[in-house]
Amino acid sequence: MNLLSGQSRPVGMVCERSWPKAIAVTGALGSGKTECVLNLALAFRSCGEEITIADVDIINPYFCVRQIAETLRNEGFKILTPPESVRWSDMPVISPGVAWALKSGRGRLLLDVGGDAIGVRALKQFAGQIVDAGYLLILVVNPFRPQTRESGGIGVMIRSMESISGLKVGALMANPHLMDETSRDDLLWGYSQVFQAGRDLGLEVIFGTVPPHLADETDGLRKETPLALWPMVRHMMLPWEEGYLWTHAGDRS
């Protein structure tokens, strides 16, 4: 399956921006961080970049990049996952290829980091190399999750992440959603919450996402929020959703 088939992306928002070598994406459980990683990766590739995606999720091995690793490799991405012997365990094992990718002068590295504050522990062992390479740690915020509903909770999560990882969160990404139940008003409320959190915490909100079923509303939404909006494409399907077959155990070879 071609991930780009029939899809358009706001590639300009990515191509026109200056990015560091390493981009790490994290967020609370249910924030949608892996979808954000995949959409970023596809946009970077459309800019003509060579992309390596590293799965460093030590929290949930069943809803992350390794679930579709072979599909992504077939699309031309370099994918780093834990060694095969522990690929589907919950052991905190990271591919040693991450260190190589950070040192390599070729391409850009995207790191899909496990959810909640403890997930960034996976970055601790590479913190020095990440700093040397140049990095941006993005916190994906879904304000419909209790712990990231407002600035105070987001700030608590950021401080915990920074203490554990030794790295600094450099930007927020607003991804307000209630899955397919998300309404236009939900998005506007969510954008407002994350935008205010960014102001309170002194962090840029680089994008606000728009779920696929509301993509046609994007132009209208842009008139009601200061955020740059990104119509997202979903690639990670839940077991009961159409399309799940290409993201399940068939990729575990």
Domains and CATH numbers, the chain: 20-251 (3.40.50.300)
Which pLDDT does position 128 carry in this prediction? Answer: 95
Give CA–CA dist 117/16, Å, rounded: 31
> Rounded to whole angstroms, how far apart are CA atoms 52 and 76?
10
- For every one of its 253 residues, what pLDDT tens digit does the chain have, with 9 covering 90 and above? 344 443 444 688 899 899 999 999 999 988 989 899 999 999 999 999 999 999 888 776 556 677 778 888 888 899 998 765 444 455 555 788 899 999 987 899 999 998 778 888 889 999 999 999 999 999 999 999 999 999 999 999 999 999 999 999 999 999 999 988 999 999 999 999 999 999 999 999 999 999 999 999 999 999 999 999 999 987 765 544 554 434 443 343 3
Which amino acid does the sequence have at 66?
R
The amino acid present at 34, given as its one-letter code, is: T
Residue found under tokens 């993509």: 215
Q: What is the pLDDT of residue 250?
A: 38
Q: Give pLDDT, residue 248.
A: 42
> What local confidence, expressed as pLDDT, does residue 4 receive?
43
Residue of 44, 50, 55, 57 lying closest to 12 (CA atoms): 44
pLDDT of residue 48: 92
Of 175, 52, 48, the C-alpha closest to 103 is 52
Beta strand extents in 81-141 (DSSP E only) = 108-113, 135-141
Backbone torsions φ then ψ of 251, nearest 5 degrees: -90, 5
Q: Which residue has the tokens 């935008």?
A: 195
The whole-number pLDDT of residue 246 equals: 40
The amino acid present at 119, given as its one-letter code, is G
